[in-house]
């Protein structure tokens, strides 16, 4: 990749980290009063995946999708601005990848729980995502069954991992 790609990505991360420092939610602070629905932002490059995830979560978890992003920078911005309960996040995203998004949001001390939703079954990616601060790792081939389970688990304070065999 050209060196400008890495410098642009680092600049974006610095900008969002600085913004998060000033606008991130404090502990136990919420952007909305007593909403009965779980508020979700979905970040994936593919519109059909965002639509499917939104449909699954709205019917199985009574979730309200309040934002959708097709790149990592937008995902960071949406989380900082909208303060969702859950971010459903692909690992492979343009501008800022999902692992870096996770790390940036963890450093910003947001209350948003991160559920990785990806086609990557490789255990090293799962370990990297969890180490960066993700709360769940769901394989897209198991999205229909595992995404609702993952969201429920992280809302209850647990972690979730799709089985490696799909």
Cα–Cα distance measured from residue 123 to residue 24, given in angstroms and rounded to the nearest whole number: 31
pLDDT given for residue 122 in this prediction? 87
- pLDDT one-digit tens code per residue, 71-107: 999 999 999 999 999 999 999 999 999 999 999 999 9
Express as a percent the part of the chain with pLDDT over 70.
78
Catalogue all structural domains in the chain, each as residue range(s) with its CATH number. 3-24+37-161 (3.40.50.2300)
Cα–Cα distance measured from residue 75 to residue 90, given in angstroms and rounded to the nearest whole number: 10
Residue 64 pairs with which residues in a beta bridge? 39
- pLDDT one-digit tens code per residue, 26-59: 333 334 445 579 999 999 999 999 999 999 999 9
The pLDDT confidence band at residue 25, using thresholds 50, 70 and 90, is very low
79-108 per-residue burial string, b: 16 or more CB within 10 A, e: under 16: bbebbbbbbbbbbebebbbbbbbbbbbebb
Could you tell me whether strands 86-89 and 136-139 are parallel, antiparallel, or unpaired per DSSP bridges? unpaired
Q: Is the pLDDT of residue 5 over 50?
A: no
Q: Which residue has the higher pLDDT, 22 or 31?
A: 31
Q: Is the pLDDT of residue 148 over 80?
A: yes
- pLDDT one-digit tens code per residue, 87-97: 999 999 999 99
Cα–Cα distance measured from residue 160 to residue 152, given in angstroms and rounded to the nearest whole number: 9
The full DSSP string for 99-149 is HHHHHHHHHTT---EEEEEES---HHHHHHHHHHT-SEEEEGGGHHHHHHH
């Amino acid at each position: 990749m050209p060196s400008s790609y890495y410098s642009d990505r680092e600049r974006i991360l610095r900008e969002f980290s600085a913004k998060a420092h000033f606008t991130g939610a404090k502990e136990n602070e919420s952007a909305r009063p007593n909403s009965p629905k779980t508020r979700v932002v979905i970040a994936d490059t593919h519109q059909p995946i965002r639509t499917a995830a939104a449909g699954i979560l709205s019917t199985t978890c009574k979730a309200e999708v309040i934002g959708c992003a097709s790149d990592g920078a937008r995902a960071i911005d949406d989380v900082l601005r909208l303060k969702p309960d859950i971010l459903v996040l692909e690992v492979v995203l343009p501008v800022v990848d999902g692992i870096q998004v996770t790390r940036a949001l963890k450093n910003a001390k947001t209350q948003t729980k991160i559920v990785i939703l990806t086609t990557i079954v490789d255990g090293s990616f799962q370990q990297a995502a969890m180490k960066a601060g993700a709360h769940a790792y769901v394989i897209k081939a198991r999205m229909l069954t595992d995404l609702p389970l993952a969201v429920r688990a992280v809302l209850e304070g647990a972690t979730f991992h799709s089985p490696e065999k799909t």
